[in-house]
Amino acid sequence: MTKLALTLLCLILLLAGIAALALRLRSGSILAHTPAPSRMKTFPRLFLWAWEREENLQFINPREVGVAFLAATVTLRGEEVIEHPRLQPLRIPDGTTLIAVVRIETARDPQPALSDKQRASLAELLIKFTRGQNISALQIDFDVTMSERKFYGDLLRDVRRSMPAAMPLSMTALASWCVYDEWLDELPVDEAVPMLFQMGLDKKRINSYLDAGGELRAPLCRSSLGISTDEARASFKHTERVYIFNSQPWSETTVRQALERSRNEKPVVP
């Protein structure tokens, strides 16, 4: 084979590879992260957080209300990954959009190793909840220090690669992450739900910023909002999904009030 022929052959193979890659990218077969609207566009706008207590939500309308329920609390201690599964019953009507929420906590003594081995064990445990019956999405709830960010970022990437491609991956986020931070930008999640309640020392600063017209700067924080029934925030008209926490068991009255507010504050279409 002449040098010219070899060069032409290499060029043809290169162009064929580029075309195949473009086709795979277009089909989404090698993308680890699909934009949130494609995964969550059919979800109800209102979600009730159902924490660790007995909840009877048989009265909700699944077309209007979804449920994000605490499926387990996981404690990281040393090299251990300790699961505390939900023990309280949850009653919901057929057809309810269910999000499995897993809370991750860290022990103080001994502190978690945050090793590759521990991350792999934790990712495997989290993936288990994506296989639950009628589960539509996975939401991970955790606190993180600056030194722990790489561990949790790598964890989310591990989980995203292993969970069903069409299933959304959600996380909760401190309001400060959404306003003053950039570490969320590269995370492979479909939404980061800003927790605009129980904000502790950040409460005054965040509320002042939002009341003055400030926006949640992180793109992942703009499609959803987390509020509480006893700490009502300002309007959520620009929000596609609203998660509401209730410190008491949900009742028909409290759900109706949440629905009325949701209907009165429909998303603003640009």
Residue-wise pLDDT tens digits, 190-247: 999 998 887 777 778 887 877 777 788 889 998 998 988 887 665 566 688 999 999 9
Residue-wise pLDDT tens digits, 77-110: 999 999 999 999 999 999 999 999 999 999 999 9
| pLDDT of 231 | 73
Angstrom CA distances, 254 to 126, 193, 226, 229, stand at 31, 21, 16, 8
- Give which of 145, 66, 58, 63 is closest to 101, Cα–Cα: 66
pLDDT at 266 over 90: no
Pair 33, 160: CB distance under 8 Å = yes
The band of 29, judged by pLDDT with boundaries at 50, 70 and 90, is very low
- Give which of 158, 46, 142 is closest to 102, Cα–Cα: 142
In DSSP terms, 67 is beta-bridged to: 48, 98
Higher-pLDDT residue of 97 and 7 is: 97
In DSSP terms, 81 is beta-bridged to: 76
Q: What average pLDDT score do residues 110-130 get? A: 97
- Give which of 175, 129, 179, 186 is closest to 152, Cα–Cα: 186
pLDDT at 30 over 70: no
pLDDT at 2 over 70: no
Six-digit token string for 156: 């989310």
Mean pLDDT of the chain: 84
| pLDDT of 8 | 53
| pLDDT of 35 | 47
Q: What is the value of pTM for the model shown?
A: 0.83
| pLDDT of 240 | 87
Domains and CATH numbers, the chain: 44-264 (3.20.20.80)
The band of 161, judged by pLDDT with boundaries at 50, 70 and 90, is very high
Higher-pLDDT residue of 106 and 10 is: 106
pLDDT at 51 over 50: yes
Q: What average pLDDT score do residues 155-181 get? A: 93
